[in-house]
């Protein structure tokens, strides 16, 4: 019964893979899992290591990193609460996964999680759907970044971050300007978007001068005019 209580209190239960399971199946799954907290900058999985865990991200933001031929790191994706972490049926990890913020995860041994998937077709199907959706998003992002201007890239990135923040319930009222903390430094944003740090800073400043966003300090961003930001993201 304790496991059911843990899942009932889970903030992402309705969005995570576990949403496809009944309470009795959750009991079985939770006998295999454990909660783990990692701090900002801590690496959960190293590329090339044996793939031994799977997890649901409960809170925080993680980055997926690939090494470039010249030894630099390239951020190839971000993971948010309710996202699935790890690669079932893979012998080794393809990407290094590191915490951008303090994060909490529900972790399962990979081999045990694979057995659960085999016994629960709905969860296996949901994982496949999410994997294909993530692949589609990645392909769309690659195509978009190739043709977008720096302004469009920054505006689109801020809108995506704002939508993630909304999903986390950071907005006090529906019509209030939204303020949230970016999980990335400007250097990391440049890395993700294929820009320079100077270009990122310049575009953020232009949006601030135009009254579209405010920069209260640190990594905080306030979306003052969401419609105008959407127009910038969709500009020809």
**Cα(230)–Cα(217) distance, integer angstroms:** 23
Please report the pLDDT score of residue 17 as a whole number.
Answer: 67
Give strand ranges (E) for the chain: 34-38, 43-45, 53-59, 62-67, 73-79, 84-85, 96-99, 103-109, 178-181, 213-217, 220-223
Domains in the chain and their CATH numbers? 13-144 (2.60.120.10), 148-234 (1.10.10.10)
pTM of the model: 0.75
Please report the pLDDT score of residue 49 as a whole number.
Answer: 94
Please report the pLDDT score of residue 143 as a whole number.
Answer: 60
For residue 1, give Cα distances in angstroms to 7, 40, 58, 103. Answer: 10, 33, 21, 26
- Angle between helices 110-119 and 121-147 in degrees, nearest 10: 110
| Mean pLDDT for back-to-back runs of 10 residues, the chain (236 residues) | 52 64 68 88 94 90 86 84 87 92 91 82 73 68 71 92 70 67 90 91 96 93 94 77
Burial (Cβ within 10 Å: 0-12, 13-18, ≥19) of residue 124: middle
Please report the pLDDT score of residue 137 as a whole number.
Answer: 66
Please report the pLDDT score of residue 232 as a whole number.
Answer: 93
Please report the pLDDT score of residue 226 as a whole number.
Answer: 93
């Amino acid at each position: 019964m304790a496991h059911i209580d843990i899942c009932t209190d889970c903030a992402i239960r309705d969005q995570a893979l576990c949403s496809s399971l009944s309470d009795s199946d959750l009991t079985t799954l939770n006998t295999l899992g454990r909660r783990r907290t990692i701090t900002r900058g801590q690496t959960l999985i190293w590329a090339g290591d044996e793939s031994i865990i799977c997890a649901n991200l409960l809170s925080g933001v993680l980055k997926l990193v690939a090494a470039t031929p010249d030894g630099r790191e390239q951020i190839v994706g971000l993971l948010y609460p309710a996202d699935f972490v790890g690669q079932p049926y893979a012998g080794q990890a393809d990407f290094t996964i590191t915490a951008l913020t303090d994060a909490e995860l529900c972790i399962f041994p990979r081999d045990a999680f694979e057995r659960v998937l085999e016994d629960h077709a709905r969860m296996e199907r949901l994982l496949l759907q999410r994997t294909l959706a993530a692949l589609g998003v990645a392909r769309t992002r690659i195509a978009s970044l190739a043709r977008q201007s720096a302004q469009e890239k920054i505006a689109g990135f801020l809108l995506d971050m704002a939508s993630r923040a909304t999903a986390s319930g950071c907005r006090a009222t529906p019509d209030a300007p939204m303020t949230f903390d970016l999980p990335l430094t400007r250097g990391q944003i440049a890395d993700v978007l294929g820009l320079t740090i100077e270009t990122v800073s310049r575009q953020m400043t232009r949006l601030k001068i135009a009254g579209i966003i405010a920069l209260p300090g640190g990594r905080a961003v306030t979306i003052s005019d969401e419609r105008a930001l959407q127009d910038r993201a969709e500009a020809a």
